[in-house]
């Protein structure tokens, strides 16, 4: 077929997409997805956005003292680290990924911690795997195939990740293609410009379209907080994304120079709490980027428990986007089991 | 299921204990028995008596410490006295080296100090580890710097001498640092009495003094109960008492030291307001409340114990607070995952329980989280009291526990009125995202420290101390150093007698043509009007040769009352621009200068002085007015370099209503030398002029009236000094009294000031030379006329 203009091309592909979707088998619901009702969103409410107030110094103080106020040791630490593993979106978003590296990633996702360690921890009878595997659309089928039968969903980053500045229709189409390709979670990026210019209506409309398009796949909206300038913007963008129906709000693509920081996480967690108080809908939080150490993971879990409560300590409402974090967690778990400090090479790599 | 699997289900916190082993080991090496640290060595108390120090989280005994008696206190003061000459003669750099070493050693032993503090006091290890002990080290570093800089930054000042210091149990080592660091930096030597509940870190600090080779006797640590403190306060060889503790005990100390010439600084109680406006970041406010009232179990003198919230925001805030209170954790102070530890002692726990019961009986709604506190040890849960009015006992008295009351306001004015509706004035916290509002409230709240969008922030570079019954004097920063120095000429001032008062002689003088002179009876000057004395009595005024040259009103209690009321109504003088105040002072000088010959003649007539001397007194008085007109817009504050992303503004503020009792000698110059600095800063004044020669002051009425001095800024009540002074000193609406008269009168002023713990500045009968600039004008006067408010303003969007 001759494609004459971009518009007609889009119309064409979209109609194909709609067609195909009718024949797509229903998406199986995973344990994580089943646990919580999805956020249906709310009408756009500019007054609510205007009222968002964040005092940066006070937020930073809380974020700095929170990990100093709480500590988990011994069995508790081991359990919390296992919880962190179960909340992990094991991620590979490199330009040089290949089917081979993605298969290896998926193998690790199925068996993230050595059997002997799980045995020693007394949790061998529990299914211990990561929450999801997160890849580019290109590797969706590879990942889905590699994870068949495990119940581990595959997430695709989408909408022109990481900058999100491609043509809008193409970004929408990208979601559709990934959903059709079997992605059960879609990590989209927002147009930072909408935030930086205060065009909240445009942001709402954009995310609402993304959500409508993603259909049964859960939508994680990446705010790219490192590029939003202020914590107040983070709070407002969080609220707008939730109003537009985000299932998760996510800090970063991992590609910004500043990624998931605790102050940002605190602001987003408080926005989630407020949204929950006002609408009854529980939205998830996903910090991503820069979380490499087990101690950092514990700090995040402490923050979530203290600010949002234990309900949020579940893959249904909390995820880490990370790639190298798991290796450090494994070392800490082995240290707990053996009493000796561990080494990276003792744990199977992803 | 395995333990790990269980925990995975509940995701609860588990125990995370800090080891007490090192602290226990240190106590064991001392056989859990301590003597007194006097003259660089450990001595058994003369009485051989010891008492138990209790771990408040278990109720068990940690150690036994000595009870100092009179002979022990004598020895300690003697040791401090002995060490003083060499210590103050050391170059500042040498003292700085010792203090630097102390700071390093505290850091080196920081974990031992933290653990010991937590087992002794009951505060969570997080606080002793992350807050108390780092601040202690910081205090010694900062003041090592002041020792280094003393000779240049405080030129012309010398140490006060032997300092007696009495500290409370809520921040045992931190309060020690706040007391000892500035004292020894300035070349004083100290005898410190730690609180009887919490002496252990002070004793460990004594070890540090030994380790760094601090000269024997510079720091002496004497343990004991309140009686030991009393011995220290009453010791005749102590030059100054620095006390932190309750207003009740502060009042006793003020009375006990009245007239002794001992300098005094008091950091007392508080009922600090925590103001929440409807445009604040409420989630951050909630954490602010946690830091304000559940920090150190609320046993904090500057705890934000009165939440004042804008009415429309109250329900939201209460809901958020209750949710947050449910997630607070209380327990073993050495657990690294608790927010609150134990109350220091059963007596304190009972006091808290009793006050909360009383609050409930008076109609308050008491709310506590659903979880319960540990049974062993002395614990009290975080408590929120609503349905409370300012009239409720729990809204007025300091509870010193984890109990906060919440009231509402509607407008900024009402917020300020409620905030200031207290006898105390230690601290305040203001929450708003509007800088206009926040700074306006900060300026208007009567408190020594105002935290904007934060609370309970401390640093060695910032002054800390109270307004009103929260005490006087500052600790920290440059403003804190003045408590530990005095002008080097001061001790040379002679103790003099009041000038001999003229005896009346007959007959009355007639004019040259034989007619009687026109009667001149000066009235009082109150609220800008010349008013007759309430009692309807007058006093004759005689020249030195006995001639009666006029009469003045004989003021009484009610006249003082009326004058104070007029001064109160003129309070807006304090918020005028300093430029305007300068202009008024210049105008007074200008109009006074017009009447040089009248005033000089009057001085000659009254005091019998020579024309030349009279002219000199007059000229100096005019110049002094110029001096304070000059100072009025130059008495700047500071921006302290506290190690946070914020500005800490140290703002000099007027004290408020000042009683000024002028000296008899130099009746014009003495009067001007005191009134001018007081009003230059923005205070309003009730002045009692020289008793024998009041006419020189009453002659000033016309000058003030023609010089745009607003009504009520200067009020003058003539009469008998010894009758009027106590009324001023006792008046609860008077914020400070300056007295330059007799030794007995000075004692009386200090004693009578205890009612509202007003600031006093008296001369103990010592006579300044009002003609000598160094003694008679300048920064010392301005400091005495101001109180420093530190406003913390974090920034960053």
- Over residues A197-220, the pLDDT tens digits come to 999 999 999 999 999 999 999 999
Asked whether residue A251 is domain-assigned, the answer is yes
Residue A10: predicted pLDDT: 41
Q: Read off φ and ψ for residue B639, nearest 5 degrees.
A: -110, 110
For residue B498, give every residue at least 6 positions away whose Cβ sits within 8 Å of its Cβ, in sequence order, or none. Answer: B664, B665, B741, B742
B206-B211-B213-B218 Cα dihedral, nearest 10 degrees: -10
What residues of B are in contact with residue A73 (Cβ under 8 Å)? 14-16
Residue B230: predicted pLDDT: 98
Is the pLDDT assigned to residue A26 strictly greater than 60? no
What residues of A are in contact with residue B14 (Cβ under 8 Å)? 72-76
Asked whether the beta carbons of residue B336 and residue A71 sit closer than 8 angstroms, the reply is yes
Name the residue among B5, B6, B281 with its Cβ closest to that of A55. Answer: B281
Residue B747: predicted pLDDT: 97
- Over residues A250-283, the pLDDT tens digits come to 999 999 999 999 999 999 999 999 999 999 999 9
- Min Cα distance A277 → chain B (Å) is 11
| B25 in reach of chain A (CB within 8 A) | no
**Quick one: closest CA in A to B290, which residue?**
A62
Task: End-to-end CA distance of chain B: give it in Å, rounded.
Answer: 49
- Min Cα distance A323 → chain B (Å) is 23
Active site residue B302: no
Asked whether the beta carbons of residue B5 and residue A123 sit closer than 8 angstroms, the reply is yes
What residues of A are in contact with residue B333 (Cβ under 8 Å)? none
Asked whether residue A169 is domain-assigned, the answer is yes
Residue A34: predicted pLDDT: 76
Total structural domains within chain A: 1
- The catalytic site residues of A sit at 187, 250, 286
Give the whole-angstrom CA distance, residue B188 versus residue B88.
7
Asked whether residue A17 is domain-assigned, the answer is no
Tell me how many residue pairs between chain A and chain B have CB atoms under 8 A apart: 104
| pLDDT tier for residue A141 given thresholds of 50, 70 and 90 | very high
Look at A31-40, A182-191, B425-434, B749-758 and tell me which has the smallest mean pLDDT.
Answer: A31-40
| B284 in reach of chain A (CB within 8 A) | yes
Asked whether the beta carbons of residue A75 and residue B7 sit closer than 8 angstroms, the reply is yes
Low-confidence ranges of chain B (pLDDT < 70): 1, 506-511
Determine contact, residues B791/B651, Cβ cutoff 8 Å: yes
Residue A124: give the domain boundaries: 45-346
Asked whether residue A27 is domain-assigned, the answer is no
| pLDDT tier for residue A25 given thresholds of 50, 70 and 90 | very low
pTM assigned to the model: 0.95
Total H helices, total E strands in chain B:
29, 33
Q: Which of B460, B450, B368 is CA-nearest to residue B141?
A: B460
**Quick one: closest CA in A to B131, which residue?**
A65
Asked whether the beta carbons of residue B13 and residue A74 sit closer than 8 angstroms, the reply is no
Give the whole-angstrom CA distance, residue B98 versus residue B283.
45
- Over residues B471-506, the pLDDT tens digits come to 999 999 999 999 999 999 998 898 887 777 778 876
Give the whole-angstrom CA distance, residue B229 versus residue B235.
10
Is the pLDDT assigned to residue A19 strictly greater than 80? no
Q: Which of B112, B121, B217 is CA-nearest to residue B168?
A: B121
Bond before B507 cis per omega within 30 degrees: yes
Asked whether residue A248 is domain-assigned, the answer is yes
What residues of A are in contact with residue B646 (Cβ under 8 Å)? 57
Asked whether residue A195 is domain-assigned, the answer is yes
How many Å is the Cα radius of gyration of chain A? Answer: 20
Mode of pairing for the β-strands spanning B263-267 and B471-472: antiparallel
Determine contact, residues B176/B192, Cβ cutoff 8 Å: yes
Asked whether the beta carbons of residue B11 and residue A80 sit closer than 8 angstroms, the reply is yes
What residues of B are in contact with residue A80 (Cβ under 8 Å)? 7, 11
Asked whether the beta carbons of residue A55 and residue B284 sit closer than 8 angstroms, the reply is yes
B124-B127-B130-B135 Cα dihedral, nearest 10 degrees: -140
For residue B189, give every residue at least 6 positions away whose Cβ sits within 8 Å of its Cβ, in sequence order, or none. Answer: B80, B81, B83, B84, B87, B161, B162, B163, B183, B217, B218, B219, B220
Asked whether the beta carbons of residue A71 and residue B339 sit closer than 8 angstroms, the reply is no
From the candidates A71, A77, A270, A311, which should be mutated to test the interface with B, based on the most B CB atoms within 10 A? A71
| B643 in reach of chain A (CB within 8 A) | no
Asked whether residue A9 is domain-assigned, the answer is no
Asked whether residue A318 is domain-assigned, the answer is yes
Is the pLDDT assigned to residue A7 strictly greater than 50? no
Asked whether the beta carbons of residue A73 and residue B284 sit closer than 8 angstroms, the reply is no
Active site residue B267: yes
**Quick one: closest CA in B to A303, which residue?**
B327
**Quick one: closest CA in A to B124, which residue?**
A69
Looking at per-residue confidence, does B628 or A350 come out higher?
A: B628
- Over residues A93-131, the pLDDT tens digits come to 999 999 999 999 999 999 999 999 999 999 999 989 999
Q: Which domains does chain B have, with CATH numbers?
A: 21-268 (3.40.605.10), 272-465 (3.40.309.10), 556-788 (3.40.605.10)
CATH number for the domain including A229? 3.20.20.70
Longest CA–CA span in chain B (Å) reads: 120
- Min Cα distance A106 → chain B (Å) is 24
| B15 in reach of chain A (CB within 8 A) | yes
């Amino acid at each position: 077929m001759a494609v004459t203009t971009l518009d007609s091309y889009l119309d064409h592909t979209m109609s194909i997409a709609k067609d195909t979707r009718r024949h797509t088998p229903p998406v199986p619901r995973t344990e994580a997805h089943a646990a919580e009702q999805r956020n249906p969103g709310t009408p756009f409410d500019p007054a609510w956005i205007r009222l968002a107030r964040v005092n940066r110094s006070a937020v930073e103080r809380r974020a700095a003292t929170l990990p100093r106020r709480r500590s988990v040791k011994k069995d508790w630490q081991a359990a919390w680290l296992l919880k962190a593993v179960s909340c992990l979106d094991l991620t590979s978003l490199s330009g040089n990924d290949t089917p081979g590296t993605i298969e290896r990633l998926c193998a690790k996702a199925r068996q993230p911690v050595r059997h002997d360690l799980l045995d020693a921890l007394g949790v061998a009878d529990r299914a211990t795997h990561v929450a999801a595997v997160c890849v580019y659309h290109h590797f969706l089928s590879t990942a889905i195939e590699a994870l068949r039968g495990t119940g581990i969903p595959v997430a695709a980053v989408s909408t022109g990740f990481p900058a999100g500045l491609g043509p809008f229709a193409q970004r929408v189409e990208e979601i559709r293609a990934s959903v059709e390709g079997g992605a059960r979670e879609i990590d989209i990026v927002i147009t930072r410009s909408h935030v930086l210019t205060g065009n909240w209506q445009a942001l709402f409309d954009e995310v609402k379209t993304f959500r409508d398009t993603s259909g049964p796949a859960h939508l994680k909206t990446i705010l790219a907080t490192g590029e939003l300038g202020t914590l107040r913007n983070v709070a407002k963008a969080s609220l707008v994304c939730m109003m537009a129906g985000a299932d998760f709000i996510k800090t970063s693509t991992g590609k910004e120079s500043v990624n998931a920081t605790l102050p940002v996480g605190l602001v987003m967690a408080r926005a989630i709490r407020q949204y929950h108080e006002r609408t009854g809908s529980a939205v998830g939080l996903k910090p991503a980027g820069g979380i490499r150490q087990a101690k950092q993971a514990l700090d995040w879990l402490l923050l979530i428990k203290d600010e949002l409560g234990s309900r949020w300590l579940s893959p249904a409402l909390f995820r880490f986007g990370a790639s190298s974090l798991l290796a450090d967690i494994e070392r800490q778990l082995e240290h707990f089991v053996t009493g000796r400090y561990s080494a990276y090479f003792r744990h199977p790599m992803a | 299921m395995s333990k790990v699997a269980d925990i995975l289900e509940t995701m609860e916190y588990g125990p995370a204990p800090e080891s007490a082993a090192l602290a226990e080991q240190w106590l064991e090496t001392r056989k859990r028995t301590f003597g007194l640290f006097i003259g660089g060595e450990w001595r058994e108390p003369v009485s051989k008596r010891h008492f138990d120090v209790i771990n408040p989280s278990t109720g068990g005994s940690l150690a036994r410490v000595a009870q100092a008696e009179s002979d022990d206190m004598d020895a300690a003061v003697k040791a401090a006295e002995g060490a003083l000459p060499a210590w103050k003669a050391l170059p500042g750099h040498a003292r700085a080296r010792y203090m630097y070493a102390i700071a390093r050693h505290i850091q080196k032993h920081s974990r031992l100090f933290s653990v010991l503090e937590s087992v002794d006091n009951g505060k969570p290890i997080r606080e002793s580890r992350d807050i108390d002990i780092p601040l202690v080290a910081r205090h010694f570093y900062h003041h090592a710097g002041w020792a280094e800089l003393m000779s240049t930054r405080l030129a012309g000042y010398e140490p006060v001498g032997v300092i007696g210091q009495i500290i409370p149990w809520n921040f045992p080592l931190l309060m020690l640092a706040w007391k000892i660091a500035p004292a020894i930096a300035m070349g004083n030597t100290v005898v410190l009495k730690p609180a009887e509940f919490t002496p252990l870190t002070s004793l460990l600090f004594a070890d540090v003094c030994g380790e760094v080779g601090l000269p024997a006797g510079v720091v002496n640590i004497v343990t004991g109960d309140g009686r030991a403190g009393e011995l220290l306060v009453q010791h005749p060889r102590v030059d100054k008492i620095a006390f932190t503790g309750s207003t009740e005990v502060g009042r006793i100390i003020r009375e006990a030291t009245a007239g002794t010439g001992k300098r005094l600084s008091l950091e007392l109680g508080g009922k600090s307001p925590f103001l929440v406006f409807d445009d604040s970041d409420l989630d951050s406010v909630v954490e602010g409340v946690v830091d304000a009232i559940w920090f150190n179990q609320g046993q904090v003198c500057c705890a934000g114990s009165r939440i004042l919230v804008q009415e429309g925001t109250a329900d939201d805030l209460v809901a958020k607070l209750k949710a947050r209170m449910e997630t607070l954790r209380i327990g073993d102070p050495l657990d690294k995952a608790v927010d609150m530890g134990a109350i220091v002692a059963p007596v304190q726990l009972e006091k808290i329980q009793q006050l909360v019961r009383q609050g409930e009986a008076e109609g308050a709604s008491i709310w506590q989280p659903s979880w319960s506190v540990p049974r062993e040890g002395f614990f009290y849960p975080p408590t929120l009291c609503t349905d409370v009015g300012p009239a409720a006992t729990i809204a007025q008295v300091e509870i010193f526990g984890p109990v906060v009351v919440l009231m509402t306001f509607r407008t900024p004015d009402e917020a300020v009125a409620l905030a200031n509706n207290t006898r105390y004035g230690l601290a305040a916290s203001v929450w708003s995202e509007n800088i206009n509002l926040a700074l306006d409230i900060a300026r208007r709240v009567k408190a020594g420290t105002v935290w904007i969008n934060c609370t309970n922030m401390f640093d060695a570079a910032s002054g800390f101390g109270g307004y009103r019954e929260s005490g006087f004097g500052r600790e920290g920063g440059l403003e804190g150093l003045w408590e530990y120095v005095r002008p080097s000429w001061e001790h040379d001032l002679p103790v003099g007698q009041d000038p001999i008062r003229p005896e009346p002689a007959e007959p009355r003088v007639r004019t040259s043509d034989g007619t009687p002179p026109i009667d001149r009876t000066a009235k009082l000057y109150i609220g800008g009007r010349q008013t007759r004395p309430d009692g309807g009595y007058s006093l004759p005024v005689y020249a030195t040769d006995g001639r009666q040259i006029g009469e003045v009103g004989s003021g009484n209690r009610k006249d003082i009352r009326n004058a104070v009321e007029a001064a109160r109504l003129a309070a807006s003088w304090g918020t005028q621009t300093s430029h305007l105040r300068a202009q008024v002072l210049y105008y007074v000088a200008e109009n006074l200068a017009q009447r040089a010959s009248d005033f000089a003649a009057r001085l000659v007539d009254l005091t019998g002085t020579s024309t030349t001397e009279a002219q000199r007194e007059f000229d100096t008085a005019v110049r002094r007015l110029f001096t304070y007109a000059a100072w009025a817009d130059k008495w700047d504050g500071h921006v302290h370099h506290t190690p946070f992303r914020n500005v800490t503004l140290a703002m000099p503020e007027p004290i408020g209503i000042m009683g000024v009792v002028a000296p008899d000698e130099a009746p014009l110059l003495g009067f001007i030398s005191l009134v001018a600095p007081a009003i230059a800063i923005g205070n309003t004044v009730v002045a009692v002029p020289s008793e024998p020669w009041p006419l020189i002051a009453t002659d000033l009425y016309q000058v003030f009236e023609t010089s745009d001095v607003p009504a009520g800024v200067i009020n003058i009540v003539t009469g008998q000094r010894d009758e009027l002074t106590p009324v001023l000193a006792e008046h609860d609406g008077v914020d400070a009294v300056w007295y330059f008269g007799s030794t007995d009168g000075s004692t009386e002023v200090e004693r009578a000031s205890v009612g509202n713990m007003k600031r006093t500045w008296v001369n103990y009968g010592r006579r300044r030379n009002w003609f000598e600039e160094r003694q008679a004008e300048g920064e010392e006067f301005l400091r005495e006329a101001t109180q420093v408010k530190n406003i913390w303003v974090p920034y960053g969007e």
